[in-house]
Amino acid sequence: MSRFCSVVLVETALTHLDRVFTYAIPDGMAVHVGSAVRAPFRRKRRVGVVTGLLERADIERPLPLAAIVGPGLDDETVDLARWVAGRYLSTLGEALATVLPQRVAGEEDSVVESGRPHHTGSFDFGTYSRGSALARALQRGGGGFVWRPLAEEDRARAIVSMAGEAAKRGGVLVLLPEVRVRSAVLTALRDAFAESLGELGSHRSARERYRDWLAIQAGAKRIAVGGRAAVFAPMRDLRLIVIDDEGHQSYKEGRAPRYHARAVAAERARRTGATLVLVGVPPSVEARAATERGPYVLVGPPRPEERKHRSSVTVIEQGTLVPSAPTLQAAKESLAARRRVVLVTHRGGSHAGSIAARAVRILAPSKPMQLDSSSTPADVARAARSADLICATPFIAKDLAVERVGLLGLLDVDAALSQPEYRAHEDTFATWWRAARWTADARIFVETANASHPAILALTKWDPDVLYRAEAARRRELGYPPFAALARIDVPADRAIEVARDVAAAGPWEVFVPKWRS
């Protein structure tokens, strides 16, 4: 039996210590790789994770561990944390701190009841190209797929069906961009699986999340749902990972380790042999490129079927007044027919306010509401329920249901397409694609000074591949993902040149140093 162990400290204030520390294991203490422990360090007891067991100590007189705290992790999760640290250039302590759940005292003593998934019915992927391959994988396991559903498809029902099929054989992870009470996918999962569903989203309290984390680890809950952090859920015998709206920016962590949940999910699927389904609405450039270069299979609708359920798109040459006269005339006609009008402006602040004021003044009388990212959930719900003129920024293109829409106006789109961010075209188009869910039999007006832009052409043709081909060519030429990797290094301005020289000398890569204005 090992008498010593290696420990990595995971407390936030100590994650800069990228090394292991050796401790003695007291008699009677059962320690394994992944155990969460309290260890003496600088006259305090710090939380750490055991990363290795030793027969002999590599230092003189190592201090003994103080205690075991909680159930800890398994060795597979520790290995995954090592991969995350290497992939995203973080310390192992930072990666383990991300993987280790926030512990809530007393929950380990709770009785965990086992829940079995209910029969959820099947979903027919037969209308999609390569849909039969996805259906077989859900039954047998393995494989990676990018599924682009039809606009009118009941995505929630499809995800529930996939989860129910895979849960017959093992564990299931479902990742959502935003886990909110009104999420159609989350609601459907709750209705279908009830007590067998573990919810790890930020909408729940720390106690509730930890309780479900423990149940998942114990095997009592076979299906887990949550945001990006749920990709680390301690699921036993993992058989399926579904990432809904896989291109959503919320899957990227903004703090170290700056992991992307999609990449971590792909690594977990590779290690466990689980099926990975990326649901693209529309697919990201990274996911679409992976279907061409491998190893993923694109499951998409036939072009005639796609166009049959899409609205007409009118491109308006943008002038000095926004909204334009043609857009306002179409809005009047829609309101007269008791259909709702949604105007999405791609500029924020006072500009958005002036656009809303012009629309409200000209389209009076109406029941208007203006929404932006500061609007409360109650405001959004009230607008979706009762307003007939909604003026909003692009944040509205979420999992929101707006019924009886007669006109969707996309205003000032060039402001979004010209943002100095290499994903600007992709993100803007994705906003339009999501918003278009409300307009099956309505009209869409796009105001732009550049009607030949690939994103606008892709919308008018209802073909995301039009934009993908243009973006792939541009990014390949410029050396942007997914055809190259980018790493951001934050340093004080007075050391930027020095660090850039050191980085450039360390390997065959390009280094860009931004210029600051004094």
What dihedral angle (degrees, nearest 10) is formed by the CA atoms of 416, 420, 422, 426?
Answer: 0
Average pLDDT over residues 202-227: 94
Q: What's the number of CA atoms in the CB half-sphere (13 Å) around residue 38?
A: 9
pLDDT of residue 181: 46
Q: Report the chain's mean pLDDT, rounded to a whole number.
A: 91
131-304 CATH pick, 2.60.40.790, 2.40.128.20, 3.40.50.1100, 3.40.50.300: 3.40.50.300
Domains 4-100 and 310-478 share a fold: no
pLDDT of residue 182: 60
pLDDT tens digits, one per residue of 241-298 = 999 999 998 999 999 899 999 999 999 999 999 999 999 989 999 999 999 987 899 9
CA distances from 339 to 235, 331, 407 (A): 46, 9, 8
507-512, Cβ contacts within 8 angstroms, sequence gap of 24 or more: 510/479
Q: What distance in Å separates the CA atoms of residue 354 and residue 88, rounded to the nearest whole number? A: 43
Packing angle, helices 75-87 and 92-99, rounded to 10: 130
**pLDDT tops 90 at residue 456:** yes
How many helices and strands (H and E) does the chain possess? 17, 18
**pLDDT tops 80 at residue 338:** yes
Give the DSSP H/E element, type plus range, for residue 266: helix 261-272
pLDDT of residue 518: 42
310-478 CATH pick, 3.30.450.30, 3.30.450.40, 3.40.50.300, 3.30.2130.10: 3.40.50.300
pLDDT tens digits, one per residue of 133-168 = 999 999 999 999 999 998 888 999 999 999 999 999
Q: Where are the domains of the chain?
A: 4-100, 131-304, 310-478
What is the percentage of the chain residues whose pLDDT exceeds 70?
A: 96
Give the DSSP H/E element, type plus range, for residue 27: none
pLDDT of residue 395: 82
4-100 CATH pick, 3.40.50.2300, 3.40.640.10, 3.30.420.40, 3.40.1440.60: 3.40.1440.60
Q: What distance in Å separates the CA atoms of residue 398 and residue 318, rounded to the nearest whole number? A: 26
Q: Integer distance in angstroms from the first to the last C-alpha of the chain?
A: 62
pLDDT of residue 52: 96
What is the model's pTM?
Answer: 0.92
